[in-house]
């Protein structure tokens, strides 16, 4: 019985905690903490739009065109265009944040996500690292930097994402652990601001 329910639970976890959802919630929290008032929600929404919603929209558009079977793009050789869309979108959002004098915390979060995407793209040329695990881990670590170290307890969510990706056979354990480690390292730059 447990073996038949595991794929269903893994599918629910991976869909609920996909990057666009994690980034939407996380960037709002990061923006709010960085600004210290409601205006941070607007900066967080811009960050979520650029880092999560635009790339998710691109994936959905290409999926409907028949380029990919689903949002997971399991063939790593077809992932490069997604990374370039993310880099362009996060880069454009970062420029708007600089010009709009966004709080430092949200700007550094965006720059950290941009740098993480460069590494994901580079690694992806030879090995299929888990983007979902990287994003989940990065958001938790960034929330810990701008809010409280207690947010590190939310890495339980990262572990759930890693488990779901392995259970669905989209990634190996090593690919999810590498993604999660890269995501956690993304927040390190924010510690020095």
Quote the percentage of the chain above a pLDDT of 70.
95
Q: How do the domains of the chain map onto residue ranges?
A: 2-192
State pLDDT tens for residues 72-94. 888 888 899 999 999 999 999 99
The answer to whether residues 104 and 34 touch, using CB atoms and an 8 Å cutoff, is yes
Mean pLDDT confidence for 123-129: 95
Lookup: tokens for 78: 């077809």
Query: Got the DSSP string for 67-82?
Result: S-SSTT---GGG-HHH
The answer to whether residues 53 and 20 touch, using CB atoms and an 8 Å cutoff, is yes
Query: So what's the pLDDT on residue 1?
Result: 43
Q: How many Å separate Cα 2 from the centre of its chain?
A: 30
Mean pLDDT confidence for 8-28: 96
Confirm whether pTM is higher than 0.85.
yes
Q: How far apart are CA 93 and CA 87, in angstroms?
A: 10
Residue 128, pLDDT > 90, answer yes
Query: So what's the pLDDT on residue 43?
Result: 98
- Round the average pLDDT of the chain to a whole number and report it: 92
């Amino acid at each position: 019985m447990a073996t038949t329910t595991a794929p269903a639970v893994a599918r629910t976890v991976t869909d609920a905690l996909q990057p666009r959802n994690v980034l939407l919630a996380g960037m709002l929290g990061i923006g709010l903490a960085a600004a210290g008032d409601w205006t941070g929600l607007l900066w967080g929404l811009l960050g979520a739009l650029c880092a999560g919603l635009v790339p998710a929209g691109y994936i959905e558009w290409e999926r409907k065109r028949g380029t990919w079977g689903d949002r997971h793009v399991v063939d790593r050789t077809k992932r490069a265009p997604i990374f370039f869309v993310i880099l362009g979108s996060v880069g454009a959002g970062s420029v708007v944040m600089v010009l709009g004098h966004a709080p430092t915390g949200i700007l550094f979060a965006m720059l950290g996500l941009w740098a993480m995407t460069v590494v994901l793209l580079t690694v992806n040329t030879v090995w299929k690292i888990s983007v979902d695990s990287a994003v989940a881990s990065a958001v938790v670590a960034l929330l810990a930097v701008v809010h409280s170290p207690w947010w590190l307890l939310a890495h339980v969510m990262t572990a759930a994402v890693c488990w779901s990706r392995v259970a669905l056979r989209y990634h190996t354990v090593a690919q999810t652990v590498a993604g999660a480690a890269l995501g956690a390292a993304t927040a390190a730059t924010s510690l020095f601001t």
